[in-house]
Amino acid sequence: MRVRALTGAGQAAGVALATLIALLAGGLGAAPAPVMVALIASCGLFVIHHFLGWVRRAPGFVHGVFLLVMATNLCTAALALASAPVAALWFAATTIALWLLAWWLVAQLADLPARKGPAGLLQALLAPLLFGATLLWLWEVIVRALDVPRVILPAPSAIWARILRSTDILWVDFVQTFVKGALSGFAIGVGAAIVFALLVDRSDFLRRGLLPVGNFLAALPIIGTAPIMVMWFGFDWPSKAAVVVAMVFFPMLVNTVQGLAATEAMQRDLMRTYSASWGQALLKLRLPAAMPFIFNGLKISSTLALIGAIVAEFFGSPTRGMGFRISTEVGRLQLDMVWAEIAVAALAGSLFYGLIALVERGVTFWHPSQRGR
């Protein structure tokens, strides 16, 4: 509690000092009026919230509206600053003040009492979305202020413009890498791992012999196996799917085997007293108990699948695909296109991971890790 109070005091002092410098330097005529007005309004709301306790004790709806107005003012000031002419003193001070205010706003949103239903889901997304938007804004401002060359680090606005100009290319690359390579390899690898886990569960020989070999093969570097897969399966997407299968198979296998062994001896004895067969015990006891482990393996595999498909394309692919485009455009110094491909890959991977996590919440609602969420 004491550390949190000191952090809040440091934020307040930083906001006050940076705003004062920005106002003094901007008062000489260098600062655009919209930036200064939005900054003053945001600082006023910050002062009201920080020093007047009734705002923090207000009903949740009133507090939420207050934070929404604060976020609107911050967005106005941030967008105006991003397009304003760069002047060293007031520009730097205003950037620091807005960054500290955004940091404080993210903390306030994260501390709001959790709600249930769609409102709770929206509330859970507000803090990470605002934090990500703050990082993108800082990226844009710093690149403009320091005049960073485009071939070293393009601004987010340049990357977004490239995405809009190259949607057809990005779509073809997305289908080639994510849909054909990553998803097909993910489905084959996960399905094969679950089948092998059931066989391993039935056989002590496989449990003692296959798992150590699997751990050894899982440690093989992708940069060594990818060229071999390309030689075996060709330059098109099947070789990328094969790399993905090799990457996701053993993490999924290990998690599933551990999950199938997660039941307690008393639970298994109870199924025996009911004269349950192996299949009945599997469907009614062991498989439901293994679901948290299985979904843990699915989430790990979802990230490995896209990474494996992209990296495999560096070692041979047709004239399409995310990995092919990244390696080609780096050689042409078209870094905005490289970052556009990275953005599409990050978005696709995050949505895929989020979809698995959403299904997990519905399937394993009974597990302690899902309670209160």
* The pLDDT of residue 157: 87
* The pLDDT of residue 57: 60
Cα first-last separation, the chain = 24
CA dihedral 368, 347, 301, 313 (to 10 degrees): -170
Where does the chain hold its CATH 1.10.3720.10 domain(s)? 163-370
Burial 341-362 (b: 16+ CB within 10 A, else e): bebbbeebbeebbeeeeeebee
**Which two three-digit tokens encode residue 289?**
């108990």
* The pLDDT of residue 1: 46
Whether residue 241 contacts residue 192, with contact meaning beta carbons closer than 8 Å, is answered with no
* The pLDDT of residue 228: 82
**Which two three-digit tokens encode residue 203?**
């056989």
The mean pLDDT value of the chain amounts to: 78
Q: Which residues have a Cβ under 8 Å from the Cβ of 3 and sit 6 or more positions away?
A: none
* The pLDDT of residue 6: 45
Q: Which residues have a Cβ under 8 Å from the Cβ of 241 and sit 6 or more positions away?
A: 180, 181, 182, 184, 185, 188, 233, 309
In the chain, pLDDT over 90 holds for what percent of residues? 10
**Residues of the chain under the 70 pLDDT cut:** 1-12, 15-16, 19, 22-33, 50-64, 83-88, 113-121, 269, 366-373
* The pLDDT of residue 373: 55
User: Is 163-370 in CATH node 1.10.3720.10?
Assistant: yes
- CA 304 to the chain's CA centroid: 14
